[in-house]
Amino acid sequence: MSVATDETGGRAASADGFVPSGNSSRHQAPRAWIDPDRSRSWLARALPIVLARKLTLFSALGLSFVSLLAQVQIPSLLNSAVTDALEHHNGSLGHYVRIVLALAVAAGVISYAARLLLMRTAYAIEFDLRNMIYEHLTRMSFSFYDRVQSGQLISRANSDIRSVQMYLTFGPNILVQCSIAVVAFIYMLTIDVPLAFVAMLTLPLVFLMGVRMRRSLFPVSWLIQARLAEVATIVDENINGVRVVKSFAAEQRELHQLQGAADRLRWAYIRDADLRARFTPLVQNLPQVGLALILLAGGYLVIHGHLGVGAILAFSAYVVMLQAPFQMLGMLVMLGQRAAASAARIYEVLDEQPAVVDAPGARALDRCRGDVRFDGVSFAYSADGPPVLADLHLHLHPGQTVAMVGRTGSGKTTVARLLPRFYDVSAGGVLVDGTDVRELTLESLRGQIGLVLDEPFLFSVSVHDNIAYGRPGATREQVRRAARAAGADEFISRLPDGYGTVVGERGYTLSGGQRQRIAIARTLLLNPPILVLDDATSAIDVQVEQEIHEALRTLMQGRTTLIVAHRLSTIALADRVVLLDGGRIVADGTHAQLLETSPLYVEVLARAQEAKR
């Protein structure tokens, strides 16, 4: 497949076929996805993610169990050492000491290997979860982001994922740790059956307290995660909107708002701590009651000669050994409630389906000529919202430049968003080369359309990488030619590191005009057959605008261009001007014709000139 290039090194308008501009991912995709069945429990839905890492997870759990088996032998050896070597003098105490030391070393080495594999599994699951939610977010439609706060998404992609990851990984390990209770109970049965049951009398109470703890902690855990997201949203909005906050001297008001959210979060945390303070000591210290019962019953048996001293020492050691699993059991309950709340919040995002997707059998847009038609288009941003466009008809012939003019709120930007199918029309259709955009693949459609918005967004990377965002493999010379065509090369060359200069977040280390020119260069580098300029020169002064217009006049030749315009100088670039009002085209012709025939057109231009002053 051959791909023609122009002076910017980009793809020519009449390429032999569609060529994706982005690079393929070099990173491993998540091995599994959550179960889509919403009727299942959160844990059952997350099971495929865990099973995708089953080799390392089960290896870690197996090694952990082996380590526990080595440790649980020690109290039994203590019983034998006291009984044989000290009471009956039938063996060497040093022999038992060497065995205990060997078991301790073996348990330590195996425990290290188990911990290493477990941590690798934990971070692998976290990696899968983060990539899963980010991949899903990249597929979501613009309508989703119109109604969801970014702080909520950031919270769910960070703290919520960590809560789920900890439970999915350390939950099974805690259960393995708790299995020592079963093994220890078997060993106690071999020593003395009645005393073994005495030692386990507190287990039913621990179970009941764990159930009550679970029921009490779940709603509080949900509340904590929701209020963490609320704080994250406020912080995110204040950082991104810091210029607006400072321009209105609203720092104290925003601080008060954050303090309110932080106070509500503090209340939830205190409530959580209060519940933990009530239940955790009971769950963790009930084994101490078992120890007291052993000392009482076992001491009676020793005094009356029914049990050896070594046996009661072994029982005491087993009960002490059981304390850690019981403490972990309380931790497991708390982790489980936090994870359940976090998983529900994550599933809310993952269960959302994109509104704009490729239709079954959608085909790629190859050999795009640039014929664009809006055929009876009606559109509203929500089902119950007011209509923005109503029965709009507009035809852009291949290679034609059309300027769209209208009052604020007339729907100009909406038209620009419908062409690359950021939203689907409510009625009618948008056609490219005679094919409804809903019948084309999104990647190929958007690959043929260059869009420069009125609010340029730059990433916190170098100027070169920002311009080459759509073509990461572009050479420095190709990037420089695109920048020169956009009138950006001169000021970029004056930056401290030239094209290697890293711009600040959102490009705010540059002026509005500089950001706009870089955004234009980014689009020109792709050299798409269809170009949409949504008031793209609004932040550029008149002198620089003239320089860009000279370049645009050359680059627009043979290219279909839709310009959302306010300035007369921008309108002058167009072959044809359409006037939009109330979601409809009310006038269509040249600039001179509309000046003579449309009073509304004259009024719109006059208001634009006043706003410019």
pLDDT score recorded for residue 70:
86
How far is C-alpha 194 from the geometric centre of its chain's CA atoms?
55
What percentage of the chain reaches a pLDDT higher than 70? 85
Assign 477 to helix, strand or coil. Answer: helix
Closest CA to 478 of 429, 538, 517, 526: 526
Please give the single-letter amino acid code of residue 229: A
d(CA 430, CA 438): 8
Q: Give phi and psi for 402, each to the nearest 5.
A: -120, 130
Question: What are the structural domains of the chain?
Answer: 42-350 (1.20.1560.10), 372-612 (3.40.50.300)
Q: What is the mean pLDDT of residues 215-223?
A: 77
d(CA 133, CA 362): 25
- 324 has pLDDT over 70: no
d(CA 118, CA 577): 65
C-alpha angle with apex 319: 313 to 320, nearest 5 degrees? Answer: 90
Closest CA to 582 of 385, 425, 388: 388
Token code pair at residue 505? 């977040």
- Looking at residue 506, the DSSP 8-state letter turns out to be G
**Beta pairing class for 449-452 and 530-534:** parallel
- 11 has pLDDT over 50: no
- 3-state SS of 412-442 is HHHHHHHCCCCCCCCEEEEEECCEEHHHECH
Residue pair 354/515 in contact (Cβ under 8 Å)? The answer is no
Residue scoring higher pLDDT (194 or 422): 422
If one counts every other C-beta atom within 10 angstroms of the C-beta of residue 429, the result is 17
- % helix / strand / coil in the chain, to the nearest 5? 60, 10, 30
Q: Give the confidence band of 550 by pLDDT, cuts at 50, 70, 90.
A: low
pLDDT score recorded for residue 477:
93
Token code pair at residue 55? 């080799």
**Beta pairing class for 372-379 and 389-396:** antiparallel
Please give the single-letter amino acid code of residue 532: V
Q: What is the mean pLDDT of residues 550-564?
A: 76
C-alpha distances out from residue 596 to 508, 587, 602, Å: 42, 11, 9
Q: What is the mean pLDDT of residues 492-519?
A: 84
Q: Give the confidence band of 4 by pLDDT, cuts at 50, 70, 90.
A: very low
Residue with tokens 């952990």: 64
Residue with tokens 């990249």: 138
Residue pair 53/124 in contact (Cβ under 8 Å)? The answer is yes
Q: Give the confidence band of 149 by pLDDT, cuts at 50, 70, 90.
A: confident
Mean pLDDT of the residues in the chain: 81
- 21 has pLDDT over 60: no
The dihedral formed by the CA atoms of 94, 97, 99 and 100, expressed in degrees to the nearest 10:
170
- 3-state SS of 327-391 is HHHHHHHHHHHHHHHHHHHHHHHHCCCCCCCCCCCCECCCCCCCCEEEEEEEECCCCCCCCCEEE
First-to-last C-alpha distance (Å) of the chain: 51
Span 524-545, pLDDT tens digits: 888 889 988 887 665 566 666 6
Token code pair at residue 590? 């040249």
Span 362-412, pLDDT tens digits: 999 888 899 999 999 999 988 888 899 999 999 999 989 999 998 888 888
What percentage of the chain reaches a pLDDT higher than 90? 25
Residues in CB range of 526: below 8 A, 6 or more apart = 10, 11, 21, 450, 470, 471
d(CA 563, CA 532): 6
d(CA 498, CA 121): 43
C-alpha angle with apex 43: 38 to 48, nearest 5 degrees? Answer: 85
Residues in CB range of 7: below 8 A, 6 or more apart = 481, 485
- 576 has pLDDT over 70: yes
d(CA 559, CA 562): 10
- 3-state SS of 452-465 is ECCCCCCCCCEHHH
pLDDT score recorded for residue 13:
38
Q: Give phi and psi for 389, each to the nearest 5.
A: -125, 145
pLDDT score recorded for residue 548:
65
Range with the poorest average pLDDT among 32-41, 71-80, 536-545? 536-545
The long-range contacts involving 100-108, CB below 8 angstroms and separated by at least 24 positions, are 100/74, 103/70, 103/71, 103/73, 103/74, 103/77, 104/70, 104/71, 104/74, 106/70, 107/67, 107/68, 107/70, 107/71
Span 416-466, pLDDT tens digits: 999 999 999 999 999 999 999 999 999 899 889 988 877 778 888 899 999
C-alpha distances out from residue 513 to 483, 507, 564, Å: 13, 11, 17
Residues in CB range of 19: below 8 A, 6 or more apart = 1, 3, 11, 447
pLDDT score recorded for residue 374:
95
Q: Give the confidence band of 30 by pLDDT, cuts at 50, 70, 90.
A: confident
Q: Give phi and psi for 578, each to the nearest 5.
A: -120, 140
Q: Please give the order of strands across the beta sheet that includes 435-436.
A: 389-396, 372-379, 427-432, 435-436
Assign 589 to helix, strand or coil. Answer: strand
pLDDT score recorded for residue 240:
67
Closest CA to 307 of 321, 290, 293, 294: 294
